[in-house]
Amino acid sequence: MTIRRDLLIGLGLALLVALLPAVIGMRYVLTQATLFFIWGIVVLQWNLVLGIGGIFSLAQMALFAVGAYATAMLGYYFAMPMVLAMPLAALITVVVSTLVGLACLRLKGPYVALLTLAVAQVLYLLIVNDTECFTNPSSGCMPLFGGVRGFTRFGDLGFRDLFGAKWYVANYYLGLVLLCLAAAFSIAIIRGPMGLAFQALRDNPGCAMARGVSRFKYQLWIFALSAFFTGLAGSFYAVHFAAVGPTAFSITTLLFLLSMIVVGGIGTVWGPLLGALLLMLADETMREFGDWRDIGLGVILAGFVILLPKGVLGSLQGLVQRLRRARPS
Amino acid sequence: MSALLTLQNVTAGYGSQTVLREISLTIAEGGLTAIIGPNGHGKTTLLRAISGLLPLRAGSISLGGLNLTGLRPDEIVAAGIIHVPQGDMLFPEMTVIENLLMGAYLPEAAAESAMRLEQVFALLPKLKERRNQVASTLSGGERRMVGIGRGLMGGGRLLMLDEPSLGLAPIVIDQIYDVIGELAAAGQSILVVEENAARVADKASLITLLDNGHLVWTGQGAELMARPEILETYLGA
Amino acid sequence: MDVIVQILASGLTMGAMYAISTIGLALVYGSLNMLNMSHGALLALGGYICYFAMSHLGLHPVLGLIAAMLVCGLVGLGIYYVAAQPMLRSANFETQIFIATIGIGAIIENVILRLFGPQPTAQPLNLPGALVIGTVHIPNQNLLILGVALGLMAALAYLLQRTRLGRAIRATAQNREAAQLMGVRVGVVYAQVLALSGGLAAISGVMVSSLSSLLPNMGGDPMLKAFIICVVAGLGNVYGAVAAAIVLGLLEAFAQYMLGVRYSFAILLLLVIAVLIWRPYGLFGRRQVVRL
C-alpha cells in the first residue's frame, strides 16, 4: 500500500542529494556526506534487526568490521580487485552473521543482547591480542588479522586513476547508490511479507505461531539478510578510508549509531536516516567541545529513550494519527 | 448493617478501552457478596480497580468512610482490603509458610502473624502438612488454598477473591466454597467473583450481575435463581 | 601439585571478584527485569572515589571504601528515579532501560575521564605482602578479595532470607503484582535494590582496580564477564550467579594456564554459547512459561 509512497520519497530524496556536489563542491562536505551514507546503510539494517525483527543485536558494528576486514584481507593477501572483494566481503559477512544468529537467536531479549555484545568483544580481543607475525613485509611484522595497527594499502577502486583529484566525488556517488539499494531493501522488508510476519508475531504471537510463523526462522532470515548491506557498508568504509583497524569495534561508534536509530525512531522506515542526519549535524556542532562529545552522546541517547522513546519520527507519526482521530471524518 | 465498601460511578479500563462504566455498589459489613457475570465483562478489572492495581478514570471508592480513591495498592492493603488475585499469583520459589507470612507483610499484620497462622492452619489443615514445600510444586487446589490463606494472613476488613473456582476439579471447588462459607459465617466480609451463579446463590447475602462493564441486576441469591430469564439473558444458562 | 594450588588460588580470586561484580547485576535484573548497562561505569566510579578519598582527602581505607559505596549507591538511586521509574509501565521497558543505561554509562565514564584523566592510576587500597606456602605464592590482596567476597555473600544471603527488605525484594522479583497486593511498595523496593547494587558495584570496582589499575573504562571487561555469568546462571538468579562466577573463575585460570591469556576469553564464550544452546534459560534459570 505505502511501499510506492516510500519508494517515491526515497527517489525524490536521492535525486536531491545527487545534485549536492554541483551546489557544494567542498571536499570536506562531500566526504562527510559519504560517511553519512555509510552510517545510513548501517543504521537502516540495524533498524531492521532491532526495530522490525525485535532482535537486540549489539553485534552490528562487529558485522560491519567483518565486512571491512574481509575486504582488506582479500585485497592484502590475495591482491583481489576491490570490485570483486566488496561483494565477496558482503557475502562473507552474511555467512558470519548466519553463524552468530544460529548461536544467539534461540535466546530471547536481553540474552541476545549480551551474547552478541560478547561475540563482538571476543572478535575485537582476538584481533588486538594477536601479536604473532603471519607475514613479514618490509613495513614489519603483520599478524593474520592486522593486530592493533590494522590494514592499509590493500588496493582501491581505481577512482584516483579515473577521476584524479576528484576521486572523492566518485566515492560520494557510489555511497549514495549503495545507500539507495540498502534503503530499497529495507523498505521491501518492512512493507513486504517478512515485515507482516513480524507484525503478526508482535501483535498476536500465539496466533502467528499457531499458523506456522516461526519467530526463530524469520529472525534468522532478517539477521542474515541485513548483514549483506552491513558488511557492504563496512567494505565501502575500508575502501573509502583506505584503512581498517580495530577502532571499527569502538564503543563510541556503537553508541553513536544506536543514538541515530533511537533519535530518529526505532522501527520506522525513515527514522534511522533522519536520526543519522541529525546526529551527524549535532556531532559537527559539538566538534568544538571535543572533550564533551561522548558525554553529549550519552545524554542524547538516555534523554531520548526516557523522554521521547519513539524518536522524532515515531512521535510525529503518533501526533499526526492523534490529530486525524480527533477530527471526525 | 453499615456500609463497608462503597463504589461510586467507578470507570476504568486499559489503553483506549473502557472496561468498567460508572459502577456504583455498596457492600455491607459481614457476609458474602458475589459478583457474577460472563468472562471478559470486567469482573477481574473491577477487583483490580478496587485494590488500586488499575487507576480509576472516574468515580470514587471508600472503605468504611475512608476515601481510597487514587491511593497506591500498598495503602489500600493497609486500609484493610485484601485482594486474592485470579490464578493465585503465589511466590513460586517461596515455601508455603513463606508465602503465608508474605500475606502479613505490613507491620500491623506482622504483629499478629503467629495468631493468624494458627487460624489459617486450623481452617486449612492441608497447608500445615505442606508448610515447607515450595509453592511451585503444589497442586492446583493446594495453591488456591495457599492464595486464600495468604489473603487471610493480612487480617483485612474485606477479603476479595477472584474466581476461586477457576481451573479446579468439581470436588476441590466444593472444598474451597465450604471454606469460603465458613469464613463468611464467622463474620469475615468477603467479595467473591464467580462465573457460575449456582455456586454462590445459597451462600451469598448479595449478588450483583456485571454485564459488559455495567451492573445490571442486584439482589438476593434465591431471588436470582427464581428468575431464569435473567440468567438466560446475561449468563446464557 | 604446586601448579594446581596456584591455579586454584588465582581461579578462586578471579571467581570471587566476578561474583562481587555479578550479584549486583543479578539482583537488579531479578527484581526489575532491568539490564543495567551502566554497571561497569559504576565499578569504575567506585574505584575512583575510593582512590580520591584515600589519596586526596587522606581518609582511612575503610572510610574510602564506604565513601565509594555511598556515592555509587546514590548514583544507583539516581538511575532508578531518573531513568527506570518513568518508563516502568512501558511495554518495551527491557529494551528502553537497556539503551538508556548504555547512555548513562557513557556519561559516567566520560565524567570520570574529564575529572581524573585517561592515564592508568594505582588503587591505593591494596594489601602488600603475600602468603607463602612452599613454593606457592598468594598475594595478600587476593586473600582480602576472597574474604570480602565471602563476607559480602554471607551478608547478602542474610539480607535476602532473613530480613523484611529481603523478603520484599524476593517477593517483588517473583511476582510484582502479588507483592503489591501484600502491601509491598514496589517502587521503594526497586530504588533500594538499585542503591544496593550501586554499593556492591563500588566494592567490586575497588577490588578489580586493586589487582590491575584504575582506568575510566576499566568496568567494561568485568561487566561483560558478569553478564556472561548471569546468563550462564540464568538471569536474575543471585545464588546461581555466585556459583557460576566461581566455576568460571576457575575455568578461566585453568584455560589461561593451558592456552594462554589470549584465547581464554574466547573459549569461555564458546563454552557459554554451548551451555545456552543446551539450556536456553541458563543452568539454574527457570523456563518461563508464557501464557498467551
Q: In this structure, are A203 and A308 located in the same domain? A: no
Same domain? For A133 and A181 the reply is: yes
**pLDDT the model gives residue C63:** 95
* pLDDT for position C288: 47
C-alpha cell at A236: 565501502
Contact C174 B53 (CB under 8 A): no
Question: Is A172 in the same domain as A258?
Answer: no
Residues A136 and A16 in one domain: yes
Do A201 and A296 lie in a common domain?
Answer: no
Per-residue pLDDT tens over the stretch A195-231: 888 888 877 777 777 777 788 888 899 999 999 999 9
Residues A197, A160 within the same domain: yes
* C280/A107 CB distance under 8 A: yes
Is residue C291 a part of any domain in this protein? Answer: no
Q: Which domain holds residue A36?
A: 2-249
- How far apart are the C-alpha atoms of A57 and A240, rounded to whole Å? 26
The residue of chain B nearest to residue C185, with distances taken between CA atoms, is B74
Cβ–Cβ gap C183/B98 under 8 Å = no
Q: Is C56 within 8 Å of chain B by CB? A: no
Residue B134 has φ and ψ, to the nearest 5°, of -75, 140
Q: What single-letter amino acid sits at C185? A: R
Give the residue among C45, C25, C49 at the shortest CA–CA distance from C37. C25
For B203-207, what is the mean pLDDT?
88
**What range does the domain containing C161 cover?**
2-278
Which residues of chain B lie closer than 8 angstroms to C288, CB-CB? none
Residue B211, SS3 per DSSP:
strand
Write the DSSP symbol of residue C124. Answer: S
Inter-chain residue contact A301 with C98, CB threshold 8 Å? no
| B150 φ/ψ angles, rounded to the nearest 5 degrees | -60, -40
Nearest one of B213, B178, B221 to B37, comparing CA atoms: B213
Determine whether the interchain pair B154/C171 forms a contact, defined as Cβ–Cβ distance below 8 Å.
no
Mean pLDDT of A87-92: 94
CB atoms A130 and C262 under 8 Å: yes
Checking if the pLDDT of C287 tops 70, the result is no
| Spatial strand order in the sheet of B81-84 | B81-84, B158-162, B189-194, B32-36, B206-211, B214-219
Task: Give whichever of A270-274, C51-55, C142-146 has the largest mean pLDDT.
Answer: C51-55
CA distance C73 to C63: 15
With beta carbons less than 8 A apart as the criterion, state whether A271 and A265 touch: yes
Which positions in chain C touch B91 (Cβ < 8 Å)?
170-171, 174-175, 178-179
Q: From CA B78, how far away is CA B92, in angstroms rounded?
A: 24
Cα angle B67, B69, B73 (rounded to 5 degrees) comes to 105
Domain count within chain C = 1
Q: What percent of chain C has pLDDT over 90?
A: 44
Confidence band (pLDDT; 50, 70, 90) for B237?
Answer: low
A172 and A231 fall within a common domain: yes
Which chain C residue has its CA at the smallest distance from A102's CA?
A: C277
Cross-chain CB nearest to C99 (options A118, A258, A297): A258
**Where a domain ends, among A249, A272, A303?**
A249
Q: Of A222, A249, A276, at which residue does a domain stop?
A: A249
The pLDDT of residue C292 is 37
The mean pLDDT value of chain B amounts to: 90
In chain A, the number of structural domains is 2
ipTM: 0.91
- Do A187 and A303 share a domain, yes or no? no
Predicted confidence (pLDDT) per residue in A107-132, tens digit: 777 778 888 888 888 888 888 877 77
* Last-in-domain residue among A225, A249, A273: A249
Least CB–CB distance from B72: residue in C171, C178, C185:
C185
Answer whether residue C229 is part of any domain.
yes
Give yes or no for C115 touching A (CB within 8 A): no
Helices assigned H by DSSP within A24-108: 27-47, 60-78, 82-104
Please answer yes or no on whether C104 and A298 come within 8 Å at the CB atom.
Answer: yes
- Assess contact for C248 and C225: CB atoms under 8 A: yes
Residue C289 has pLDDT above 60, yes or no: no
Residue C267 pLDDT greater than 80, yes or no:
no
Do A88 and A171 lie in a common domain? yes
Can you tell me the distance from the alpha carbon of B223 to that of C38, in angstroms, rounded to the nearest whole number? Answer: 63
Q: Quick one: A53 and A180 in the same domain? A: yes
The answer to the question of residue C150 being in a domain is yes
Give the 3-state secondary structure of residue A6. helix
Collapsed DSSP state (helix, strand, coil) of residue B6: strand
Q: Within an 8 Å CB–CB cutoff, is residue C110 touching chain A? A: yes
In a domain, residue C119? The reply is yes
Please give the interface size between B and C, counted as residue pairs whose CB atoms are below 8 Å apart.
63
Q: Would the CB atoms of C182 and B103 count as touching at under 8 Å? A: yes
Q: Does residue C14 lie in a domain region?
A: yes
Residue C292 lies in a domain: no
